[in-house]
Amino acid sequence: MKNRATICLIIACYAGFYTNSTAQDLHFSQYFNSPLLVNPANAGFAPDVDYRVGINYRNQWASVTPNPYKTMDVWGDVQLFNNRFQDGWVGLGGSIIKDQAGSGGLSSTKGFASIAYHQLLGFNSLLSGGFNIGFVNKRIDVSKLTFDNQWNGKFFDVTIPSGEQFAYNSATYLDLQAGLNYALFPSDNAYLNVGFSAMHLNRPKETFFSDNIADTRIAPRLTLFLNGSFKLNDQWIVNPNVYISQMGGAWETVAGLNAHYNLSGDGSSQVIGGLYVRAKDAFIPMIGYEWNDVALTINYDATSSSLGTYNQTRGAFELSIVKSGIFGSGGKDVKCPSVKF
């Protein structure tokens, strides 16, 4: 049964090369810890710090296939011109993402540069708009693949011609994305944020075959998210989140919350715990620890869909490390409220 599941996964992976793919792009369960991947308007969208840097790692379906999906992301952003604009600032960010999947050596390398502008609207709200440009390269080792034409009745014989019309083993293209954010600060102890972004605005082509085989343009990916942060008392801050993404005929919805518990009294040491649900796919418990502006969080995706029969509910493991800080030692002029200990 495991072999059958592996074959199904491989077929699903490569079917998108023949037709318009309805599969989702790569993603992280801790999407809030990979902000530039979600929305370019998130670049510099951290009013109480000058910069952030982060690392994300995801290992998926290791119990189903001997070559599991591995996704790695290194990102960072910074605020600029905070002292030049009375009611706003500029955010710059960048991200490098590496994804490997399947026995065919399918790999994807993406580099994005983001720019955003953040404008205060009165005393308790903030509007942000952002844009990014990315370069994407995907590669595959066709020699590691086998196809239905190579089945001789007993095993896959690689000496038999596959009949597949591969034209390239590498595809490179330009990718464009834009987004908006709106944040509301009703008090010093409450924060709400809604954002929307659109990826693949230029509909790039992604294929290892000749252009005349099929329309291989990537469908736009639309993402909507809603975040909140509420300080209950000097010990607890609760952060509910909802994330909805649509691409082609595929939908992804993740909802839940995480909470920070103040261990040290001054907020320099915090324990993090949370639970999320990806609709029709997985339950996602999360734990973490934050110490002096460095937060480490780990989650595990426990499969709740029919795939759980094959992987014993073992879906994905994910790790995130985020460091934020202020340049210099003179503190920072925060232009809008920030929910923190």
pLDDT in tens, 245-298: 999 889 999 999 999 999 999 999 999 999 999 999 899 999 999 999 999 999
Boundaries of domain holding 159: 2-325
- For the domain that residue 102 is a member of, what is the CATH number? 2.40.160.40
Instruction: Give, for 93, the enclosing helix (H) or strand (E).
Output: strand 88-101
pLDDT of residue 168: 75
Q: Quote the mean pLDDT of the chain.
A: 85
Q: Which residues of 280-312 are buried (b: 16+ CB within 10 A; e: fewer)?
A: ebbbbebebebeeeebbbbbbbbbbeebeebbe
Looking at the domain assignment, is residue 152 inside a domain?
yes
Percent of the chain with pLDDT over 90: 57
pLDDT score for 68: 74
Residue 160 is assigned to a structural domain of this protein? yes
Q: Is residue 338 part of a domain?
A: no
Q: Is residue 78 part of a domain?
A: yes
Q: Name the pairing type of β-strands 125-139 and 106-120.
A: antiparallel
pLDDT at 321: 98
Q: Is the pLDDT of residue 301 over 80?
A: yes
Rounded CA gap, 90 and 80, in Å? 5
Question: Per-residue pLDDT for 173 more than 60?
Answer: yes
> Band of the pLDDT at 64, cuts 50, 70, 90?
low
On whether residue 335 sits in a domain, the answer given is no
Give pTM, 2 decimals: 0.84
Cα–Cα distances in Å, from 37 out to 96, 114, 175? 10, 10, 12
| Weakest-pLDDT range from 55-64, 67-76, 191-200, 245-254 | 55-64
| Residue 279, token pair as written in the block | 């609709």
pLDDT at 207 > cutoff 90? no
Say how far apart CA 178 and CA 221 lie, in whole Å: 11
User: What is the structure's pLDDT at 330?
Assistant: 67
Gyration radius of the chain over CA positions: 22
**Cβ 320 vs Cβ 297: under 8 Å:** yes
Tell me if 101 is assigned to some domain: yes
pLDDT in tens, 85-105: 888 999 999 999 998 876 667
Of 38, 122, 153, 150, give the one whose Cα is nearest residue 336.
Answer: 122
The answer to whether 267 touches 341, Cβ cutoff 8 Å, is: yes
Q: Is residue 90 part of a domain?
A: yes
User: Rounded to 5 degrees, what are φ and ψ at 45?
Assistant: -90, 65
| Bigger pLDDT: 83 vs 229 | 229
Q: Which residue did the predictor score with more confidence, 53 or 313?
A: 53
Residue 270 lies in a domain: yes
Number of domains in the chain: 1
Q: Supply the pLDDT for residue 18.
A: 33
